[in-house]
Amino acid sequence: MNIQNYMSRGVLRVVTDALRSTAKNEKERLFMTRFAKAAAAAGRQRYASEKKGEHIPPFLIASITSACNLHCAGCYSRSNHACTDEAPAAQLTGEEWGRIFAEAEELGVSFILLAGGEPMLRFDVLQRAAAHETILFPVFTNGTYLHEKYLQFLDEHRNILPILSIEGDQHTTDERRGEGVYKQVTDSMRLMEAKGIPFGASVTVTTENMKEVFSSAFLDRLYTLGCRAVIYVEFVPVTEKAAHLAPDEAAQDEIIRTVKKLRRTRRNMVFIAFPGDEKKSGGCVAAGRGFFHINSHGGAEPCPFSPYSDINVKETSLREALSSPLFRALQTQGLLLDDHIGGCTLYARKDEVEAILRGEK
C-alpha cells in the first residue's frame, strides 16, 4: 500500500468536490481554483520528500484551545481532560501557532483542521492562519460564536472554512449539546448563507442517530441552509457506558457504502467519512501516516482520540515531531493496522500505546 498515493488521491477528491459544490459562488470558486493549484504543488513537494525517505502527511489537526462553552454528552476531549471551561495560561500563543502554520506550509501540508475546545475563542490564532492562503483551515466549531466580527473575517479570508457541529434534528442536537444549541447553529448557518460564506457540518455518527443523519430529509435541510460539506465522524466511546453508541463493523461498512453513494448522487455537496475507508489504506492513518495532532499545549499526538505524546513543538520542529519515537513505534509495530470498533484503533489499544511511552514495547 502506497500511503502517499492514497492520501494524495484523497486530497484531490476533496478539492475536486469542493470546486464543484462552490461553482455558483464566484468569490469561493476563485479561491478554490487558486487553492487547487496550491494543493497540487504541495502534493508534488510531499512526493519529493517521500523519495528522500521523509513521509509528510497532507493533514494536520490543531487543537488551538482547550476552552469550551458547551458540555456535550460523551465529549472525548472533556473525558481526557483536554477540554475545560477556561483555558490555562500554558497554552500555545498566537505567535507559536503562527510558527507551526509556517512550518506546515514549508513541509507541504495542505489542510490544517482547527479544533478545540471551541476554536472560535482564539481569534488571534485564526488571524495567523488566514495569512497562509495555500492551506485550507476547516474550523470545527459549535457555531455559537459566529457574530458579525467573525462573519466579516470569514468573508475576507476564504481559506478559513467553518464546520459547524450538528447531531441531527433539534431534539437530537439539543439532547447532546444543550438546550437551544440547534437554533443557534442553524441561525449561524442562515447568516453565513445570506452573506455567501461557504461552510460545512460535522456530524458525530452513533447507533442512535445513524439513520437520521444520512436521511434525505436531514441532508436537504442542511443544503437549504447553505451547507455544502458534511463530515461524518464515527462516535468513539470514552466510557464503557457509552460503548453501545459506537458503530460496529457492519455499521461502519454501511457508513462507507452510504457516503460513496452520496458522493455519486449529491454532487453539489462534499462528503467525508472519518475514519471511513481506512481499511483500504492499510489501517489507521494517524501518527503521521496521513495526519497527526498538536494539542493546545504543543504536544504532538497520534490523533485527538489518542492523547499521548513524547515530544512538544514548543521545543522542536514539526519535522522532528513527525519522527518522534512514539510515532515511529506506532508505525512499525503494527498498532495502526488492527481492525477496531468505534472509530479509533489507538483508543481501543490505549494500554499498548501507554506501554510504548513507558518504554515497555
More confident position, 351 or 12: 351
At 339, the pLDDT band (50, 70, 90 cuts) reads low
Is the model's pLDDT at 131 over the cut of 90?
A: yes
What does the pLDDT read at residue 80? 74
Q: The pTM is what?
A: 0.92
Work out the pLDDT band at 103, boundaries 50, 70, 90.
very high
Q: Domains along the chain?
A: 3-48+58-324 (3.20.20.70)
Indicate whether 342 pLDDT > 60. no
Per residue in 145-173, pLDDT (tens digit) is 998 999 999 999 999 999 999 999 999 99
Provide the pLDDT confidence category of residue 278 given band limits of 50, 70 and 90: low
217-275 per-position pLDDT tens digit: 999 999 999 999 999 998 988 777 888 898 988 998 899 999 999 999 998 899 988 87
Is the backbone peptide bond immediately before 288 cis, with ω within 30 degrees of 0? no
User: pLDDT at residue 328 above 70?
Assistant: yes
Residue with cell string 431534539: 171
Tens digit of each residue's pLDDT (9 = 90 or more) over 11-57: 778 888 888 887 788 888 899 899 999 999 999 999 999 999 999 99
Percent of the chain at pLDDT > 90 equals 64
179-222, pLDDT tens digit by residue?
999 999 999 999 999 999 989 999 999 999 999 999 999 999 99
| Rounded percentage of the chain residues whose pLDDT exceeds 70 | 95
pLDDT-derived band at 101, boundaries 50, 70, 90: very high
Per-residue H/E/C for the chain: CCHHHHHHHHHHHHHHHHHHHCCCCHHHHHHHHHHHHHHHHHHHHHHHHHHCCCCCCCEEEEECCCECCCCCCCCHHHHCCCCECCCCCCCCCHHHHHHHHHHHHHHCCCEEEEECCCHHHCHHHHHHHHCCCCCEEEEEECCCCCCHHHHHHHHHCCCEEEEEECCCCHHHHHHHHCCCHHHHHHHHHHHHHHHCCCCEEEEEECCCCHHHHCCHHHHHHHHHHCCCEEEEEECCCCCHHHHHHCCCHHHHHHHHHHHHHHHHHCCCCEEEEECCCHHHHCCCCCCCCCCCEECCCCEEECECCECCCCCECCCCCHHHHHCCHHHHHHHHCCHHHCCCCCCCHHHHCHHHHHHHHCCCC
Cα–Cα distance measured from residue 146 to residue 158, given in angstroms and rounded to the nearest whole number: 15
Lowest mean pLDDT among 2-16, 42-56, 292-306, 317-331: 2-16
What pLDDT does 343 receive?
55
| Per-residue pLDDT, 336 | 83
How far does CA 43 lie from the centroid of its chain? 19
User: Which range is most confident: 55-64, 86-95, 333-342?
Assistant: 55-64
What is the per-residue pLDDT for 16?
Answer: 83
Does the structure show a pLDDT above 80 at 2? no
Q: Give the pLDDT of residue 282.
A: 65
User: In terms of C-beta distances under 8 Å and separation of at least 24 residues, what long-range contacts does 101-107 make, across chains too?
Assistant: 101/128, 101/129, 101/131, 101/132, 101/135, 102/132, 103/317, 103/318, 103/319, 104/60, 104/132, 104/135, 104/318, 105/132, 105/134, 105/135, 107/45, 107/46, 107/49, 107/56, 107/318, 107/319
Copy the grid coordinates of residue 14: 476533496
Please state the φ and ψ torsions of residue 126, each to the nearest 5 degrees. Answer: -60, -40
Q: Is 329 left (phi over 0), alpha (psi -120 to 50) or beta?
A: alpha
- Sheet-wide strand order for 59-63: 270-274, 229-234, 200-205, 160-165, 137-141, 111-115, 59-63, 293-294, 300-301
Q: Write down the mean pLDDT value for the chain.
A: 90
